[in-house]
Amino acid sequence: MPASSVPAQGERRFQDFLTAAATGKVFSEQEAEDVFGLIMDGLVGESRIAALLMAMRVRGEQPQELIGAVRAMRARMKAVPNAPAGTIDVCGTGGDGHGTLNVSTAVSFVLAALGVPVAKHGNRALSSLSGASDVLEALGVPLKTDPDTLGADLRDRRLAFLSAPEHHPAMRHAASARKALGIRTLFNFIGPLANPAQVRRQLIGVSSMQWMKPIVDTLEKLGSERIWCVCGEIPGDHPDGTAGTIDEVTLAGPAHVEALENGTRFSFSLTPDMAGLPEAPVSAIAGGGPVQNAAALEALLHGSKGPYRDTVLLNAACALHVAGQGMLLKDNRIVPAALKSLVSSAAHVLDNGAALAVLNATRASTSRPGNGQVS
């Protein structure tokens, strides 16, 4: 078959999927893997990608579609080898519309300072104002691309930032369509479930409670061992004056958790008062562009107090449990004293400069020859 006919054939196959989605058809796991594979292989135009994503969003994406799409993405990713045992990722799916400061990126520095290896998977802003890669660039952190170098950083420094476009080059085919739409699509969920270091432990925030169980289902099916999928509740603090949700544990209200631990599934909630932290509205951690968010993160690592710090401490405490560095639960419920203890551990490395030292070491690090990156 002539090479020129391959894209045309892909477009025809995609058209069948698009027509089906427009009539409300739900794809099977295999069909979803096939249709997202066509997108990731560059066989589909931008407008048609956007049309499919919107059709799926309007009719409601389904769990088996998520599993299929994640399989397609993992099959095409550039993996980071030899990550240390117990490596964790902390990330949010985005798409909640709140535009907060970068919480999980800040948590990464805290965890690394406490000796937890973190393979922080992130992207540039697509449905937010400042993605992880944007704020790291503003901080002067070199975004390395060589998998072996990143694996060495995980082992030596306990921290590696994995830029999604570098490890998922197939995603570039959907980037323009996602940015043009500017809303949460299934891709928001796919990326955090395809960490290039193949982590088996994750604290992952989602913007809608309806996706908590499907995300943990997907990760369990794909071999994860310890997962907390969290969704924060915002009583009366949404921009339109109504209650909302957010893809972080926040000070604004309870966080709901769907957990996988030791092969067991369970759910529970936690509140800021369990950690001895004062409540604060989500507006207290409102962010902006990369420069503004980077300045806030650096101030945090220099000892700045306030709701941003407290939010980072609360999320770091949860991540420490997921990493196996503390035990927050008894009978599948939060033990407040244990939560306060882990919050205190996280605060210690902010106060003694250890987390700042991790940032400075990361800034100063250079890539190995062949990576094409310098500090």
Would you list which residues are annotated within the binding site for 5-phospho-alpha-D-ribose 1-diphosphate? 92, 95-96, 100, 102-105, 120-128, 132
- Residue 291 identity: V
Binding-site positions for anthranilate read: 92, 123, 178
- Helix then strand then coil, % of the chain, to nearest 5: 50, 15, 35
* Closest C-alpha to 102, from 119, 85, 122, 74: 122
What is the DSSP code (8-state) at residue 242? S
Cβ neighbourhood burial of 136 (10 Å; 0-12, 13-18, 19+): buried
Residues 6+ apart with CB under 8 A from 199: 83, 87, 88, 89, 119, 224
Contact 180, 205 (CB under 8 A): no
Strand partners, 201: 88, 226
* Closest C-alpha to 312, from 94, 105, 118, 91: 105
Binding-site positions for Mg(2+) read: 104, 247-248
Q: How far is Cα of residue 370 from the mean position of the Cα atoms in its chain? A: 28
Q: What are phi and psi of 219, to 5 degrees?
A: -65, -35
Half-sphere exposure of 262 (CA within 13 A, CB side): 3
Binding-site positions read: 92, 95-96, 100, 102-105, 120-128, 132, 178, 247-248
Determine the Cα–Cα distance for residues 102 and 82; give it in Å rounded to an integer.
28
Alpha helices, DSSP H, located in 41-102 = 46-59, 63-76
